[in-house]
Protein backbone atom coordinates (compact mmCIF):
# COMPACT_ATOMS: atom_id res chain seq x y z
CA UNK A 1 0.00 0.00 0.00
CA UNK A 2 3.11 2.16 0.04
CA UNK A 3 5.76 2.56 -2.63
CA UNK A 4 8.85 4.64 -3.24
CA UNK A 5 10.72 5.27 -6.48
CA UNK A 6 13.67 7.45 -7.34
CA UNK A 7 13.52 10.44 -9.68
CA UNK A 8 15.38 13.72 -10.13
CA UNK A 9 14.78 17.43 -10.55
CA UNK A 10 16.87 19.96 -12.43
CA UNK A 11 17.92 23.10 -10.57
CA UNK A 12 19.92 25.31 -12.86
CA UNK A 13 22.72 23.20 -14.33
CA UNK A 14 22.62 20.74 -11.46
CA UNK A 15 20.25 17.98 -10.54
CA UNK A 16 18.98 16.76 -7.18
CA UNK A 17 17.61 13.34 -6.30
CA UNK A 18 13.93 13.23 -5.48
CA UNK A 19 12.16 10.30 -3.88
CA UNK A 20 8.62 9.83 -5.17
CA UNK A 21 6.62 8.26 -2.36
CA UNK A 22 3.09 7.05 -2.78
CA UNK A 23 0.55 5.88 -0.24
CA UNK A 24 -2.80 4.34 -1.16
CA UNK A 25 -5.34 4.24 1.66
CA UNK A 26 -9.08 4.03 2.26
CA UNK A 27 -11.48 6.89 2.85
CA UNK A 28 -12.93 9.37 0.43
CA UNK A 29 -11.24 8.89 -2.95
CA UNK A 30 -8.86 11.67 -3.84
CA UNK A 31 -5.42 12.08 -5.36
CA UNK A 32 -3.09 14.69 -4.00
CA UNK A 33 0.52 15.58 -4.65
CA UNK A 34 2.52 17.16 -1.83
CA UNK A 35 6.14 18.20 -1.46
CA UNK A 36 6.35 21.79 -2.76
CA UNK A 37 5.07 21.09 -6.28
CA UNK A 38 4.62 23.88 -8.82
CA UNK A 39 1.46 24.27 -10.85
CA UNK A 40 2.44 21.87 -13.63
CA UNK A 41 2.97 19.09 -11.10
CA UNK A 42 -0.39 19.48 -9.37
CA UNK A 43 -1.90 19.49 -12.85
CA UNK A 44 -0.15 16.19 -13.54
CA UNK A 45 -2.87 14.40 -11.56
CA UNK A 46 -5.26 14.46 -14.48
CA UNK A 47 -2.58 13.28 -16.93
CA UNK A 48 -1.54 10.45 -14.62
CA UNK A 49 -5.12 9.34 -14.00
CA UNK A 50 -5.85 9.08 -17.74
CA UNK A 51 -2.48 7.56 -18.60
CA UNK A 52 -3.01 4.77 -16.05
CA UNK A 53 -6.53 4.06 -17.27
CA UNK A 54 -5.48 4.10 -20.92
CA UNK A 55 -2.52 1.79 -20.34
CA UNK A 56 -4.76 -1.09 -19.30
CA UNK A 57 -4.48 -0.56 -15.55
CA UNK A 58 -7.18 0.76 -13.28
CA UNK A 59 -6.79 3.98 -11.36
CA UNK A 60 -7.49 3.09 -7.73
CA UNK A 61 -10.60 4.71 -6.23
CA UNK A 62 -8.73 5.28 -3.00
CA UNK A 63 -7.15 8.08 -1.06
CA UNK A 64 -3.82 8.50 -2.87
CA UNK A 65 -1.07 10.69 -1.51
CA UNK A 66 2.07 11.24 -3.55
CA UNK A 67 4.95 12.98 -1.82
CA UNK A 68 8.04 14.37 -3.52
CA UNK A 69 10.85 14.24 -0.98
CA UNK A 70 12.79 16.24 0.15
CA UNK A 71 9.65 18.27 0.79
CA UNK A 72 11.46 21.60 1.21
CA UNK A 73 12.91 21.61 -2.31
CA UNK A 74 10.78 23.48 -4.84
CA UNK A 75 9.92 21.21 -7.74
CA UNK A 76 8.80 22.06 -11.21
CA UNK A 77 8.66 20.38 -14.56
CA UNK A 78 6.74 17.42 -15.85
CA UNK A 79 9.42 14.79 -15.26
CA UNK A 80 7.65 13.40 -12.18
CA UNK A 81 4.61 12.19 -14.16
CA UNK A 82 6.12 8.81 -14.99
CA UNK A 83 7.62 7.93 -11.57
CA UNK A 84 4.42 9.06 -9.83
CA UNK A 85 2.22 6.96 -12.12
CA UNK A 86 4.46 3.94 -11.55
CA UNK A 87 4.52 4.50 -7.78
CA UNK A 88 0.71 4.52 -7.73
CA UNK A 89 0.65 1.21 -9.62
CA UNK A 90 3.12 -0.30 -7.16
CA UNK A 91 1.24 1.00 -4.11
CA UNK A 92 -2.05 -0.27 -5.56
CA UNK A 93 -0.43 -3.68 -6.02
CA UNK A 94 -0.92 -3.68 -9.77
CA UNK A 95 2.82 -3.78 -10.36
CA UNK A 96 5.52 -5.59 -8.41
CA UNK A 97 9.06 -4.26 -8.27
CA UNK A 98 12.18 -6.26 -9.03
CA UNK A 99 15.00 -5.66 -6.54
CA UNK A 100 16.92 -3.56 -9.09
CA UNK A 101 17.13 0.19 -8.40
CA UNK A 102 16.25 2.61 -11.16
CA UNK A 103 15.89 6.34 -11.47
CA UNK A 104 12.91 7.41 -13.56
CA UNK A 105 11.96 10.60 -15.40
CA UNK A 106 9.31 11.33 -18.01
CA UNK A 107 6.12 13.16 -18.83
CA UNK A 108 3.03 11.08 -19.62
CA UNK A 109 0.31 11.97 -22.07
CA UNK A 110 -3.33 11.03 -21.63
CA UNK A 111 -2.99 7.88 -23.74
CA UNK A 112 -0.05 6.53 -21.73
CA UNK A 113 2.68 7.66 -24.08
CA UNK A 114 5.91 8.88 -22.47
CA UNK A 115 7.05 12.30 -23.67
CA UNK A 116 10.47 13.96 -23.60
CA UNK A 117 11.45 16.25 -20.74
CA UNK A 118 13.99 19.00 -20.21
CA UNK A 119 17.27 18.47 -18.42
CA UNK A 120 17.76 14.75 -19.12
CA UNK A 121 21.54 15.24 -19.37
CA UNK A 122 22.08 16.88 -15.94
CA UNK A 123 19.84 14.21 -14.40
CA UNK A 124 21.81 11.44 -16.12
CA UNK A 125 25.08 12.97 -14.88
CA UNK A 126 23.63 13.01 -11.37
CA UNK A 127 22.37 9.43 -11.69
CA UNK A 128 25.85 8.34 -12.74
CA UNK A 129 27.13 9.42 -9.31
CA UNK A 130 24.69 7.07 -7.56
CA UNK A 131 25.06 3.34 -7.56
CA UNK A 132 22.03 2.57 -9.72
CA UNK A 133 20.99 -0.22 -12.06
CA UNK A 134 19.78 2.24 -14.64
CA UNK A 135 18.01 5.42 -15.62
CA UNK A 136 14.62 5.10 -17.29
CA UNK A 137 14.08 8.03 -19.70
CA UNK A 138 11.64 8.94 -22.48
CA UNK A 139 12.91 7.55 -25.78
CA UNK A 140 13.25 11.11 -27.08
CA UNK A 141 15.82 11.89 -24.37
CA UNK A 142 17.76 8.63 -24.57
CA UNK A 143 20.64 9.71 -26.80
CA UNK A 144 21.13 12.94 -24.84
CA UNK A 145 21.12 11.11 -21.48
CA UNK A 146 23.54 8.49 -22.83
CA UNK A 147 26.22 11.21 -23.12
CA UNK A 148 26.70 10.73 -19.39
CA UNK A 149 28.98 7.84 -18.60
CA UNK A 150 28.40 5.46 -15.75
CA UNK A 151 24.70 4.63 -15.79
CA UNK A 152 22.79 2.43 -18.26
CA UNK A 153 20.06 4.38 -20.06
CA UNK A 154 16.77 2.59 -20.75
CA UNK A 155 14.47 4.29 -23.24
CA UNK A 156 10.69 3.94 -22.94
CA UNK A 157 7.90 4.88 -25.32
CA UNK A 158 4.92 4.07 -23.12
CA UNK A 159 3.99 3.75 -19.47
CA UNK A 160 3.72 -0.02 -20.00
CA UNK A 161 7.38 -0.21 -21.19
CA UNK A 162 8.53 1.47 -17.99
CA UNK A 163 6.39 -0.86 -15.89
CA UNK A 164 7.97 -3.85 -17.65
CA UNK A 165 11.46 -2.59 -16.81
CA UNK A 166 10.60 -2.03 -13.15
CA UNK A 167 9.08 -5.48 -12.74
CA UNK A 168 11.99 -7.05 -14.60
CA UNK A 169 9.60 -8.54 -17.13
CA UNK A 170 11.19 -7.01 -20.22
CA UNK A 171 14.34 -4.92 -20.07
CA UNK A 172 15.45 -3.33 -23.36
CA UNK A 173 19.07 -2.94 -24.36
CA UNK A 174 20.58 0.22 -22.84
CA UNK A 175 21.20 3.05 -25.31
CA UNK A 176 24.80 3.86 -26.14
CA UNK A 177 26.26 6.73 -28.11
CA UNK A 178 29.67 6.92 -29.69
CA UNK A 179 31.21 10.19 -28.53
CA UNK A 180 33.91 10.29 -31.18
CA UNK A 181 31.60 9.80 -34.11
CA UNK A 182 29.33 12.52 -32.71
CA UNK A 183 32.22 14.97 -32.57
CA UNK A 184 33.44 14.00 -36.01
CA UNK A 185 30.03 14.85 -37.40
CA UNK A 186 30.90 18.46 -36.66
CA UNK A 187 32.04 20.40 -39.66
CA UNK A 188 32.31 24.13 -40.10
CA UNK A 189 28.80 25.48 -40.43
CA UNK A 190 28.19 26.11 -44.13
CA UNK A 191 26.70 29.53 -43.52
CA UNK A 192 28.81 31.79 -45.68
CA UNK A 193 32.46 31.86 -46.70
CA UNK A 194 34.39 34.87 -45.47
CA UNK A 195 35.88 35.35 -48.95
CA UNK A 196 32.41 36.33 -50.15
CA UNK A 197 32.71 39.55 -48.15
CA UNK A 198 34.24 42.24 -50.36
CA UNK A 199 37.19 44.22 -49.01
CA UNK A 200 37.35 44.86 -45.25
CA UNK A 201 40.70 43.13 -44.86
CA UNK A 202 41.37 44.79 -41.51
CA UNK A 203 38.02 43.67 -40.14
CA UNK A 204 38.63 40.14 -41.37
CA UNK A 205 41.94 40.05 -39.54
CA UNK A 206 40.22 41.33 -36.39
CA UNK A 207 37.64 38.55 -36.72
CA UNK A 208 40.44 36.01 -36.99
CA UNK A 209 42.10 37.31 -33.83
CA UNK A 210 38.77 37.41 -32.00
CA UNK A 211 37.92 33.86 -33.06
CA UNK A 212 41.38 32.57 -32.11
CA UNK A 213 41.27 33.93 -28.57
CA UNK A 214 37.54 34.22 -27.92
CA UNK A 215 37.81 38.01 -27.60
CA UNK A 216 35.03 40.56 -27.67
CA UNK A 217 34.70 42.59 -30.83
CA UNK A 218 32.86 45.77 -31.81
CA UNK A 219 32.45 46.72 -35.46
CA UNK A 220 31.66 50.33 -36.28
CA UNK A 221 30.69 51.45 -39.74
CA UNK A 222 28.07 52.95 -42.02
CA UNK A 223 25.05 50.93 -43.09
CA UNK A 224 25.72 48.53 -45.94
CA UNK A 225 29.47 48.20 -45.38
CA UNK A 226 29.16 44.51 -44.50
CA UNK A 227 29.11 44.38 -40.68
CA UNK A 228 26.32 41.83 -40.48
CA UNK A 229 27.85 39.79 -43.30
CA UNK A 230 31.19 39.71 -41.51
CA UNK A 231 29.51 38.62 -38.32
CA UNK A 232 27.74 35.82 -40.16
CA UNK A 233 31.01 34.74 -41.76
CA UNK A 234 32.56 34.54 -38.29
CA UNK A 235 30.59 31.34 -37.62
CA UNK A 236 32.61 29.68 -40.37
CA UNK A 237 36.03 30.45 -38.92
CA UNK A 238 35.37 29.50 -35.29
CA UNK A 239 37.43 26.57 -34.01
CA UNK A 240 35.63 23.26 -33.40
CA UNK A 241 34.35 22.46 -29.90
CA UNK A 242 36.33 20.04 -27.77
CA UNK A 243 34.33 17.24 -26.15
CA UNK A 244 34.49 18.89 -22.72
CA UNK A 245 33.18 22.15 -24.21
CA UNK A 246 30.49 20.35 -26.22
CA UNK A 247 29.27 18.52 -23.11
CA UNK A 248 28.98 21.81 -21.20
CA UNK A 249 27.06 23.45 -24.03
CA UNK A 250 24.80 20.43 -24.38
CA UNK A 251 24.06 20.54 -20.68
CA UNK A 252 22.76 24.10 -21.01
CA UNK A 253 20.72 23.21 -24.08
CA UNK A 254 19.34 20.20 -22.23
CA UNK A 255 18.13 22.44 -19.41
CA UNK A 256 16.59 24.79 -21.97
CA UNK A 257 14.92 21.84 -23.72
CA UNK A 258 16.71 22.63 -26.98
CA UNK A 259 18.60 19.41 -27.64
CA UNK A 260 17.78 17.86 -31.01
CA UNK A 261 16.76 14.24 -30.90
CA UNK A 262 18.96 13.18 -33.84
CA UNK A 263 22.04 15.15 -32.80
CA UNK A 264 22.16 14.81 -29.02
CA UNK A 265 25.58 16.45 -28.65
CA UNK A 266 25.78 20.13 -29.58
CA UNK A 267 28.87 20.05 -31.79
CA UNK A 268 28.50 23.41 -33.48
CA UNK A 269 29.74 26.44 -31.57
CA UNK A 270 26.63 28.35 -30.52
CA UNK A 271 25.96 31.50 -32.51
CA UNK A 272 23.17 33.53 -30.97
CA UNK A 273 21.73 36.64 -32.59
CA UNK A 274 19.02 38.06 -30.32
CA UNK A 275 16.94 40.93 -31.69
CA UNK A 276 17.45 44.30 -30.00
CA UNK A 277 13.97 44.18 -28.45
CA UNK A 278 15.12 41.36 -26.13
CA UNK A 279 14.15 41.66 -22.45
CA UNK A 280 16.74 41.39 -19.74
CA UNK A 281 15.32 38.04 -18.60
CA UNK A 282 15.68 36.78 -22.17
CA UNK A 283 19.27 38.02 -22.25
CA UNK A 284 20.73 36.89 -18.92
CA UNK A 285 18.14 34.30 -17.92
CA UNK A 286 15.08 34.23 -15.72
CA UNK A 287 11.39 33.64 -16.17
CA UNK A 288 8.75 32.52 -13.71
CA UNK A 289 9.59 29.81 -11.21
CA UNK A 290 13.12 28.51 -11.49
CA UNK A 291 15.15 30.91 -13.66
CA UNK A 292 16.07 29.37 -17.01
CA UNK A 293 19.17 30.09 -19.08
CA UNK A 294 19.22 33.26 -21.19
CA UNK A 295 20.92 34.11 -24.47
CA UNK A 296 24.29 34.67 -22.79
CA UNK A 297 24.26 31.10 -21.48
CA UNK A 298 22.96 29.70 -24.75
CA UNK A 299 25.96 31.42 -26.34
CA UNK A 300 28.35 29.68 -23.90
CA UNK A 301 31.61 28.76 -25.69
CA UNK A 302 30.22 30.49 -28.74
CA UNK A 303 29.25 33.88 -30.08
CA UNK A 304 26.65 36.38 -28.93
CA UNK A 305 26.11 38.79 -31.81
CA UNK A 306 24.36 42.05 -31.02
CA UNK A 307 23.55 43.90 -34.24
CA UNK A 308 22.60 47.59 -33.90
CA UNK A 309 24.12 47.70 -30.41
CA UNK A 310 22.77 51.16 -29.37
CA UNK A 311 19.22 50.03 -30.12
CA UNK A 312 19.33 47.51 -27.26
CA UNK A 313 17.70 48.53 -24.01
CA UNK A 314 20.45 50.10 -21.95
CA UNK A 315 19.45 48.13 -18.88
CA UNK A 316 19.84 44.92 -20.88
CA UNK A 317 23.33 45.92 -22.03
CA UNK A 318 24.41 46.85 -18.51
CA UNK A 319 23.38 43.41 -17.21
CA UNK A 320 26.01 41.96 -19.55
CA UNK A 321 28.86 43.73 -17.77
CA UNK A 322 29.24 41.33 -14.88
CA UNK A 323 28.92 38.08 -16.90
CA UNK A 324 31.41 39.48 -19.41
CA UNK A 325 33.95 39.63 -16.56
CA UNK A 326 32.99 36.56 -14.54
CA UNK A 327 31.93 34.33 -17.48
CA UNK A 328 29.08 33.05 -15.38
CA UNK A 329 25.77 34.41 -14.15
CA UNK A 330 24.16 33.91 -10.77
CA UNK A 331 20.39 34.37 -10.92
CA UNK A 332 18.94 34.86 -7.46
CA UNK A 333 15.21 34.79 -6.88
CA UNK A 334 13.12 34.41 -3.76
CA UNK A 335 14.10 31.03 -2.34
CA UNK A 336 16.32 29.87 -5.17
CA UNK A 337 19.51 30.91 -6.84
CA UNK A 338 20.97 29.16 -9.84
CA UNK A 339 24.24 29.64 -11.66
CA UNK A 340 24.65 29.25 -15.38
CA UNK A 341 27.93 29.42 -17.28
CA UNK A 342 28.14 32.33 -19.71
CA UNK A 343 31.57 32.29 -21.28
CA UNK A 344 30.66 33.81 -24.58
CA UNK A 345 32.41 35.91 -27.17
CA UNK A 346 30.61 39.21 -27.63
CA UNK A 347 30.44 40.49 -31.17
CA UNK A 348 28.57 43.75 -31.69
CA UNK A 349 27.94 46.07 -34.59
CA UNK A 350 26.85 49.69 -34.64
CA UNK A 351 26.73 52.77 -36.84
CA UNK A 352 29.02 55.67 -35.96
CA UNK A 353 26.04 58.05 -35.63
CA UNK A 354 22.23 57.99 -35.98
CA UNK A 355 22.29 58.65 -39.75
CA UNK A 356 25.19 56.25 -40.13
CA UNK A 357 27.49 58.37 -42.30
CA UNK A 358 29.87 60.05 -39.85
CA UNK A 359 33.39 59.82 -41.31
CA UNK A 360 32.05 58.74 -44.68
CA UNK A 361 34.08 60.46 -47.46
CA UNK A 362 31.19 60.46 -49.95
CA UNK A 363 27.99 60.95 -48.03
CA UNK A 364 27.87 63.78 -45.48
CA UNK A 365 26.63 63.10 -41.99
CA UNK A 366 23.41 64.96 -41.19
CA UNK A 367 23.53 64.51 -37.44
CA UNK A 368 24.07 67.33 -34.96
CA UNK A 369 26.86 66.87 -32.41
CA UNK A 370 24.19 66.59 -29.74
CA UNK A 371 22.47 63.74 -31.59
CA UNK A 372 25.76 61.90 -32.00
CA UNK A 373 26.55 62.34 -28.33
CA UNK A 374 23.17 60.99 -27.31
CA UNK A 375 23.54 58.05 -29.67
CA UNK A 376 26.95 57.15 -28.31
CA UNK A 377 25.77 57.51 -24.74
CA UNK A 378 23.37 54.63 -25.20
CA UNK A 379 26.40 52.37 -24.85
CA UNK A 380 28.15 53.07 -21.55
CA UNK A 381 31.87 53.47 -20.98
CA UNK A 382 32.16 50.49 -18.63
CA UNK A 383 30.49 48.37 -21.30
CA UNK A 384 32.94 49.52 -23.98
CA UNK A 385 35.81 48.91 -21.58
CA UNK A 386 35.00 45.20 -21.88
CA UNK A 387 35.45 45.19 -25.63
CA UNK A 388 38.87 43.84 -26.68
CA UNK A 389 38.88 44.75 -30.34
CA UNK A 390 37.38 47.84 -31.93
CA UNK A 391 37.35 47.73 -35.66
CA UNK A 392 36.16 50.15 -38.29
CA UNK A 393 34.21 48.76 -41.18
CA UNK A 394 34.30 51.66 -43.66
CA UNK A 395 32.32 52.17 -46.83
CA UNK A 396 33.74 50.13 -49.71
CA UNK A 397 35.66 51.98 -52.41
CA UNK A 398 34.41 51.88 -56.00
CA UNK A 399 37.13 49.39 -56.94
CA UNK A 400 36.33 47.07 -54.07
CA UNK A 401 32.66 47.25 -54.92
CA UNK A 402 33.13 46.45 -58.61
CA UNK A 403 35.84 43.81 -58.25
CA UNK A 404 35.10 40.24 -57.39
CA UNK A 405 35.65 39.47 -53.72
CA UNK A 406 39.21 38.58 -52.83
CA UNK A 407 41.06 37.29 -49.83
CA UNK A 408 41.42 34.01 -48.04
CA UNK A 409 38.61 31.53 -47.67
CA UNK A 410 37.12 30.48 -44.33
CA UNK A 411 38.85 27.10 -44.39
CA UNK A 412 42.38 28.58 -44.39
CA UNK A 413 41.58 31.05 -41.63
CA UNK A 414 39.79 28.40 -39.60
CA UNK A 415 42.88 26.18 -39.80
CA UNK A 416 45.03 28.99 -38.34
CA UNK A 417 42.46 29.72 -35.66
CA UNK A 418 42.29 26.04 -34.79
CA UNK A 419 46.07 25.85 -34.45
CA UNK A 420 46.14 28.92 -32.21
CA UNK A 421 43.39 27.44 -30.02
CA UNK A 422 45.33 24.19 -29.83
CA UNK A 423 48.29 26.10 -28.41
CA UNK A 424 45.99 27.68 -25.83
CA UNK A 425 44.43 24.33 -24.85
CA UNK A 426 47.87 22.81 -24.37
CA UNK A 427 48.98 25.75 -22.26
CA UNK A 428 45.90 25.74 -20.02
CA UNK A 429 45.49 22.00 -19.74
CA UNK A 430 45.47 21.93 -15.94
CA UNK A 431 42.91 24.71 -15.56
CA UNK A 432 39.37 23.45 -15.35
CA UNK A 433 36.81 25.21 -17.51
CA UNK A 434 39.33 27.47 -19.25
CA UNK A 435 39.90 26.99 -22.93
CA UNK A 436 41.00 30.29 -24.48
CA UNK A 437 43.11 33.38 -23.83
CA UNK A 438 40.03 35.49 -23.11
CA UNK A 439 39.40 33.30 -20.05
CA UNK A 440 42.83 33.91 -18.50
CA UNK A 441 42.77 35.18 -14.93
CA UNK A 442 45.42 37.41 -13.36
CA UNK A 443 47.51 34.42 -12.34
CA UNK A 444 47.31 33.02 -15.86
CA UNK A 445 48.25 36.40 -17.28
CA UNK A 446 51.40 36.52 -15.16
CA UNK A 447 52.31 32.99 -16.07
CA UNK A 448 51.61 32.92 -19.79
CA UNK A 449 51.82 36.50 -21.06
CA UNK A 450 55.54 37.05 -20.92
CA UNK A 451 56.59 40.17 -22.76
CA UNK A 452 60.07 40.71 -24.09
CA UNK A 453 61.84 43.95 -23.15
CA UNK A 454 60.88 45.93 -26.26
CA UNK A 455 57.25 44.85 -25.97
CA UNK A 456 57.18 45.88 -22.31
CA UNK A 457 58.48 49.34 -23.19
CA UNK A 458 55.88 49.79 -25.91
CA UNK A 459 53.08 48.79 -23.59
CA UNK A 460 54.30 51.17 -20.89
CA UNK A 461 54.17 54.00 -23.39
CA UNK A 462 50.68 52.99 -24.43
CA UNK A 463 49.34 53.08 -20.89
CA UNK A 464 50.04 56.83 -20.79
CA UNK A 465 49.18 57.54 -24.39
CA UNK A 466 45.78 55.80 -24.38
CA UNK A 467 45.04 56.24 -20.67
CA UNK A 468 44.41 52.52 -20.39
CA UNK A 469 42.38 51.38 -17.42
CA UNK A 470 43.60 48.34 -15.51
CA UNK A 471 40.96 46.28 -17.27
CA UNK A 472 41.86 47.66 -20.70
CA UNK A 473 45.52 46.89 -19.98
CA UNK A 474 44.86 43.21 -19.23
CA UNK A 475 42.64 43.02 -22.30
CA UNK A 476 45.42 44.38 -24.51
CA UNK A 477 47.75 41.78 -22.99
CA UNK A 478 45.34 38.94 -23.73
CA UNK A 479 44.81 40.07 -27.32
CA UNK A 480 48.57 40.36 -27.78
CA UNK A 481 48.92 36.82 -26.46
CA UNK A 482 46.42 35.59 -29.04
CA UNK A 483 48.16 37.45 -31.87
CA UNK A 484 51.44 35.86 -30.79
CA UNK A 485 49.73 32.45 -30.74
CA UNK A 486 48.43 33.02 -34.25
CA UNK A 487 51.99 33.85 -35.33
CA UNK A 488 53.35 30.81 -33.50
CA UNK A 489 55.49 32.96 -31.18
CA UNK A 490 56.49 31.79 -27.70
CA UNK A 491 56.90 35.26 -26.13
CA UNK A 492 54.93 38.39 -26.92
CA UNK A 493 56.93 40.69 -29.20
CA UNK A 494 56.44 44.44 -29.88
CA UNK A 495 54.57 43.79 -33.13
CA UNK A 496 51.99 41.72 -31.27
CA UNK A 497 51.47 44.46 -28.71
CA UNK A 498 51.33 47.05 -31.49
CA UNK A 499 48.59 45.19 -33.32
CA UNK A 500 46.65 44.67 -30.10
CA UNK A 501 46.91 48.39 -29.34
CA UNK A 502 45.74 49.23 -32.81
CA UNK A 503 42.42 47.52 -32.06
CA UNK A 504 42.01 49.83 -29.08
CA UNK A 505 42.99 52.89 -31.10
CA UNK A 506 39.89 52.64 -33.27
CA UNK A 507 37.94 53.25 -30.09
CA UNK A 508 39.90 56.41 -29.45
CA UNK A 509 39.60 57.65 -33.03
CA UNK A 510 35.91 57.53 -32.66
CA UNK A 511 36.12 59.25 -29.30
CA UNK A 512 33.50 56.93 -28.02
Partner 1 sequence: MPQRQVSHLLSLTGLWYHVLIMAGKDSYGGQAETAACEFLRARGYVVVERNWHSPFGEVDLIARDGEALVFVEVKARRDSSFGGAEGALTDIKKERIIATARMYLRGASTELPVRFDVVTITAGEVSLYQDAFQVEV
User: d(Cα 214, Cα 206) in Å, to the nearest integer?
Assistant: 11
Question: In the complex, what is the shortest distance from the CB of residue 43 to partner 1, in angstroms, rounded to a whole number?
Answer: 12
| Among 21-29, 87-95, 129-137, 249-257, the segment contacting partner 1 (CB under 8 A) | 21-29
User: Could you say whether residue 32 binds partner 1 (CB under 8 A)?
Assistant: yes
User: Could you say whether residue 102 binds partner 1 (CB under 8 A)?
Assistant: no
User: d(Cα 30, Cα 59) in Å, to the nearest integer?
Assistant: 11
Query: Within 178-237, which residues bind partner 1 (CB under 8 A)?
Result: none
Question: In the complex, what is the shortest distance from the CB of residue 49 to partner 1, in angstroms, rounded to a whole number?
Answer: 9
Which is closer to partner 1, CB of 34 or CB of 258? Answer: 34
Residue 386-405 contact track with partner 1, rule CB under 8 A, x = bound: --------------------
Which is closer to partner 1, CB of 62 or CB of 204? Answer: 62
Neighbours of 245 (CB within 10 A): 22
User: Could you say whether residue 27 binds partner 1 (CB under 8 A)?
Assistant: yes
Which is closer to partner 1, CB of 10 or CB of 51? Answer: 51
* Contact by Cβ (8 Å): 162, 95: no
What are the CA-CA distances from residue 206 to residues 7, 424, 485 (Å)? 49, 18, 14
Q: Is 362 left (phi over 0), alpha (psi -120 to 50) or beta?
A: alpha
Question: In the complex, what is the shortest distance from the CB of residue 116 to partner 1, in angstroms, rounded to a whole number?
Answer: 28
Q: What is the dihedral of CA 423, 489, 450, 425, to 10 degrees?
A: 0
Q: What are phi and psi of 195, to 5 degrees?
A: -70, -10
User: d(Cα 252, Cα 255) in Å, to the nearest integer?
Assistant: 5
Strand boundaries in 271-424, DSSP class E: 271-272, 285-286, 292-293, 303-306, 328-333, 336-341, 345-350, 389-392
User: d(Cα 262, Cα 251) in Å, to the nearest integer?
Assistant: 16
Which is closer to partner 1, CB of 25 or CB of 258? Answer: 25
Which is closer to partner 1, CB of 49 or CB of 418? Answer: 49
Question: In the complex, what is the shortest distance from the CB of residue 84 to partner 1, in angstroms, rounded to a whole number?
Answer: 14
User: Could you say whether residue 25 binds partner 1 (CB under 8 A)?
Assistant: yes
User: Could you say whether residue 29 binds partner 1 (CB under 8 A)?
Assistant: yes
What are the CA-CA distances from residue 457 to residues 461, 478, 490, 501 (Å)? 6, 17, 18, 13
Query: Within 49-78, which residues bind partner 1 (CB under 8 A)?
Result: 59, 61-62
Which is closer to partner 1, CB of 27 or CB of 190? Answer: 27
| Among 24-32, 284-292, 448-456, 499-507, the segment contacting partner 1 (CB under 8 A) | 24-32
Question: In the complex, what is the shortest distance from the CB of residue 42 to partner 1, in angstroms, rounded to a whole number?
Answer: 8
Interface pick for partner 1 out of 31, 305, 344, 435 (rule CB under 8 A):
31
User: Could you say whether residue 80 binds partner 1 (CB under 8 A)?
Assistant: no
Question: In the complex, what is the shortest distance from the CB of residue 337 to partner 1, in angstroms, rounded to a whole number?
Answer: 31
* Contact by Cβ (8 Å): 216, 342: no
Which is closer to partner 1, CB of 50 or CB of 263? Answer: 50
User: d(Cα 130, Cα 397) in Å, to the nearest integer?
Assistant: 64
* Contact by Cβ (8 Å): 438, 214: yes
Question: In the complex, what is the shortest distance from the CB of residue 63 to partner 1, in angstroms, rounded to a whole number?
Answer: 8
Provide the binding-site residues for partner 1, judged by CB under 8 A: 25-32, 59, 61-62
Amino acid sequence: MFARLLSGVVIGMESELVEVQCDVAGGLPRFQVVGLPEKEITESRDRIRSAIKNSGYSFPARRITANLAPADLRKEGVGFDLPTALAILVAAEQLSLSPRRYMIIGEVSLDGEVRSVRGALPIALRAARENLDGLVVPAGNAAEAALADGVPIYPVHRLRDAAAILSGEKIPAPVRVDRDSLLKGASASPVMDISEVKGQEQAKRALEVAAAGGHNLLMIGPPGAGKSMLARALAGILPPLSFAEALEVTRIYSVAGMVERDTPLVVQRPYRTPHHTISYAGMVGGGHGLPGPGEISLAHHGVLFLDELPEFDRRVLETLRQPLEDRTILLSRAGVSVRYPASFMLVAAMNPCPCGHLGDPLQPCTCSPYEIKRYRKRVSGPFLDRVDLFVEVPRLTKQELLNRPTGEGSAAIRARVKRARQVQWERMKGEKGRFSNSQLDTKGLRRYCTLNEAAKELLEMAIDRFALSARAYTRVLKVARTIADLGGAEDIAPEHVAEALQYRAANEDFAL
